[in-house]
Amino acid sequence: MHIMYYCILCKQLHPLGFSEREFVFKSGFHYFSSNLYQAGVCAKEPYTLPKEQPATA
């Protein structure tokens, strides 16, 4: 039986060990299909923050 976690980035369930860059929160949980799963981030694709846009008045 695989331990599953819910990725808050791609919003899918993954088995633990799905990605080399994943991390699973120790105190974060998420309900998915009426089941409670640990929350985490699969980091399958590198995540970068959007570039800042200049302020306009």
**Where are the chain's structural domains?**
4-41
Say which residue the tokens 């981030």 belong to. Answer: 41
**Tokens of residue 54, six digits:** 């200049």
Global pTM value: 0.70
Determine the Cα–Cα distance for residues 32 and 14; give it in Å rounded to an integer. Answer: 12
User: What's the pLDDT band for 48 if we cut at 50, 70, 90?
Assistant: low
> For residue 38, is pLDDT > 80?
yes
